[in-house]
Structure 1
């Protein structure tokens, strides 16, 4: 039996671009005719991805699977940690909710217990693919965490992977971060590092030549490439992306349509709004205070890992009353998943699923109630918008069952016969459990055009590309960019 070759991308710190480089390598290897598959043993992420069979994995691995042209499975990310409360995360094991666990219990007890499950996934991938692209987490040199680190060098040893160490020059100190990381690895770990990559470069590469020559001589490890900064239109993995260039707040008045998304403390699956950034004439702001809200055309309440806690936060900050006041002035309100639940009359938590239990009053903008339950819904879905009969696709990830009252109209009818979401009679308040709603580009364009007409602006007549086409364009563009600046011939030799 042929065992897959393995390459692992590790970083000198978090947010150096590991996920993006893994995505690029998945598409490059696929374009070169190899059966390639992504893998990350343990992922802590606020954004997740639902596979065809209803498994929940890190969004980065779902994206990488798409880039590799393979169906995503739970083997690609056997452990997903979703922060829920301070020092408590939901543990998703092999794509299914396992339990909520505090950090100390997870580190001291669970890590070693779960290693056989991780090994099982690695062996499966080794037996069914040509190349495994492994992604590390944070840095392999966190000496206070190394004893229980199952996401970096331990995985490299398990998969017999050559390691590429990525450093982010944009944040400064790139050579110090490389030397420092290597110095904190033991001999066996350091021997696995076969190449260095300098990422997010802006400027003249010639100015780096002396430093590259020095670091290669000092470490004996080749620099495989210097990759210029690129603003890739690919889903973000976690909350670090909220401070990226793409999400910097534009000034009000710069755009025809002003969209404000409330940055809830426990926000999740915020990639739902990504398509809005690409709509002509639309500005998107992330706000977390009443003073920042202003008077936008649209307010979005996103998903959250704890609806009741974040609803209480809305009340404490004054955003609760501010949203209600803007609704009376004709501002459109859209709630997704947890944000949808907040739009109702009451939220019931009899079993303490969301925390201490009890009842919380919602915004009362839609006549409905939500009761939280322990069974988690994770499924890809499709359906039709009731008012327009247009087809949409997306995915559900939620705890809780929402019941509409008699006077409330559902937003869409799902393919499996269920009704989803709700819409007010004037169409100014919309709620849905459908993550990825704006990735249905025709629906998004129609919504934006309706707002434009309401404001007395001309609708946009440009053709709309499908989300699948745009994602393919992004994967190909990223792959070409990385291939151009990475020594692929040397990388293939390293893998062999």
Structure 2
């Protein structure tokens, strides 16, 4: 009889607050232990994010767990993030369970009626991961010290107890009050929870660590727990952020770094929807030396960019109304009439069409609704109850109205509730997409590619297409084309190695291995 395999060891990264670096620390540990030869898996029982990831089998999970799976060099599965919350309003979220939408819940209803059912889903997913891995690195959410959530917790200390996971508590020194946040968190935890915490990591440090030493000594004496590392701030890591809090800080850093004195910088404006989703679509631009990305929410900020991109959004109707009431709609129409370049991705693609219809109230709280779009593309969208999540591979169809197709490959993924149909079959598609073995025309390209839209997220991750589009913008300005020197996927893999080396050199990895039990 075959010997029963032992369950994987576990370790959990929790934080004193949101955006202290839990996701990146988890990714770093995933890559470090993978490099050390262990079979790894990430896990976060419940994630709240609009920046999602599609698994190879066409399911939707939080992007952070997709990134962490990539750090482990394994395919992502829904067991790594069995429950995903996608905010659609201030108090309402779409609940995605094992990669498929369940329904919308308001905060109270979710806490009182769904969380008790979620516990078994979380435990089953965690068990499956532990049966096929050597180590599972778990990630908490927010803070374990939220006393109002403790009795229904499925993502912090109760989840750690289910896996018997030692906890490393991370805190962000960059936002101030790091010692108070750690001590305050520890004081609020129960004695059993405090025992589970094995040490602290102070993240995003800037300065001379010797000046911090008296505080570290005080913290260790005050809590009886070791400081396992002081991790210096790592600018522009090169990996996707989970939420917009980290994204906004990264954009400030990036714009400061991008002042390189070039006169031929392309100015690309991305409309900053209030429910912007999958903003990682634009991460690949960070490696292009001739591009400056701006995120625009007001008429005054738009200016006259070389191109405007309407990104994805979790609530297309709401964000369409927002740009209409802000005056941005009229500015975009004037920009397009003046020869401006506009691209739309997913929700942004839908907004560029003639009409958006929500007969089942999918985006409108159960109320049927119809809105006119910007009417820049000959499409109409109907929102359906079923969400489409699928990986896409194919090729770009070219800009010209006539002529053969180009050979530029396109890969990405779709995540959307709407079904979009052409009202003019004579227009050129954006790409020829292959869904399995079935090639289909996807998206729309109009005015020789000056205005185009697609459902394919990650389209700019394709190096050849991204540079092809940028060079068209350069040509419009009378500038010479740039060579394609940036390889996004190669740089992304190098970013994992850089992150892992950075954490290795500033954390006590021997102590952390001991905590894990290896």
- Indicate whether 1:236 and 2:241 are aligned: yes
| Equivalent residue in structure 1 for 2:374, among 357, 363, 367 | 363
Inter-partner Cα distance in structure 2 for 1:274 and 1:237: 12
- Indicate whether 1:292 and 2:301 are aligned: yes
| Equivalent residue in structure 2 for 1:396, among 408, 414, 431 | 414
CA offset digits 1:30-57 (Å, max 9, x no partner): 0000001000000000100000111110
The alpha-carbon deviation at position 462 of structure 1 amounts to 4.8
Contact 1:421 1:432 survives alignment (8 Å): yes
Counterpart residue number, 2:403 = none
Inter-partner Cα distance in structure 2 for 1:210 and 1:275: 41
The alpha-carbon deviation at position 411 of structure 1 amounts to 0.5
Counterpart residue number, 2:401 = none
Counterpart residue number, 1:332 = 341
- Indicate whether 1:189 and 2:193 are aligned: yes
Inter-partner Cα distance in structure 2 for 1:458 and 1:324: 29
Matched position secondary structure for 2:148? coil
Judged with a 3 Å threshold, the aligned counterparts in structure 2 of structure 1 residues 196 and 248 are, in CA distance, closer, same or farther, namely closer
Inter-partner Cα distance in structure 1 for 2:414 and 2:6: 38
Contact 2:42 2:69 survives alignment (8 Å): yes
The alpha-carbon deviation at position 427 of structure 1 amounts to 1.4
Counterpart residue number, 1:218 = 222
- Indicate whether 1:372 and 2:394 are aligned: no
CA offset digits 1:403-422 (Å, max 9, x no partner): 11223221111112222110
- Indicate whether 1:435 and 2:439 are aligned: no
CA offset digits 1:360-395 (Å, max 9, x no partner): 111111111111111110011111111123111000
Inter-partner Cα distance in structure 2 for 1:270 and 1:120: 31
The alpha-carbon deviation at position 439 of structure 1 amounts to 0.5
Long gaps (5+) in structure 1? none
Contact 1:346 1:360 survives alignment (8 Å): yes
CA offset digits 1:256-290 (Å, max 9, x no partner): 11011111111111110111122112111111111
Contact 1:368 1:408 survives alignment (8 Å): no
Long gaps (5+) in structure 2? 399-405
CA offset digits 1:178-233 (Å, max 9, x no partner): 11110000001000000110100000010011111111111111101100000211
| Equivalent residue in structure 2 for 1:16, among 17, 20, 41 | 20
Inter-partner Cα distance in structure 2 for 1:29 and 1:119: 23
Contact 1:409 1:425 survives alignment (8 Å): no
The Cα RMSD (Å) is: 1.4
- Indicate whether 1:488 and 2:506 are aligned: no
CA offset digits 1:92-138 (Å, max 9, x no partner): 00111111111110001100111111110111111111101000000
Worse-superposed segment, 232-241 or 58-67? 232-241
Please give the residue correspondences for 1:198-217 in structure 2 after superposition, counting only pairs within 5 Å: 198-217=202-221
Inter-partner Cα distance in structure 2 for 1:399 and 1:385: 23
CA offset digits 1:127-161 (Å, max 9, x no partner): 11110100000000011222222110011101110
Inter-partner Cα distance in structure 2 for 1:165 and 1:353: 39
Matched position secondary structure for 1:46? coil
Counterpart residue number, 1:257 = 266
Task: Give the total of aligned pairs.
Answer: 495
Contact 1:248 1:285 survives alignment (8 Å): no
Contact 2:464 2:484 survives alignment (8 Å): no
Matched position secondary structure for 1:320? helix
Contact 1:38 1:133 survives alignment (8 Å): yes
Provide TM-score, normalisation by structure 1: 0.98
- Indicate whether 1:406 and 2:425 are aligned: yes
- Indicate whether 1:417 and 2:439 are aligned: yes
The alpha-carbon deviation at position 249 of structure 1 amounts to 8.2
The alpha-carbon deviation at position 336 of structure 1 amounts to 0.2
Inter-partner Cα distance in structure 1 for 2:134 and 2:250: 36
Contact 1:199 1:229 survives alignment (8 Å): yes
| Equivalent residue in structure 1 for 2:282, among 269, 273, 281 | 273
Inter-partner Cα distance in structure 2 for 1:340 and 1:248: 29
Matched position secondary structure for 1:378? strand
Matched position secondary structure for 2:10? strand
Inter-partner Cα distance in structure 1 for 2:187 and 2:214: 21
Inter-partner Cα distance in structure 2 for 1:342 and 1:280: 30
| Equivalent residue in structure 1 for 2:317, among 308, 319, 329 | 308
The alpha-carbon deviation at position 425 of structure 1 amounts to 2.7
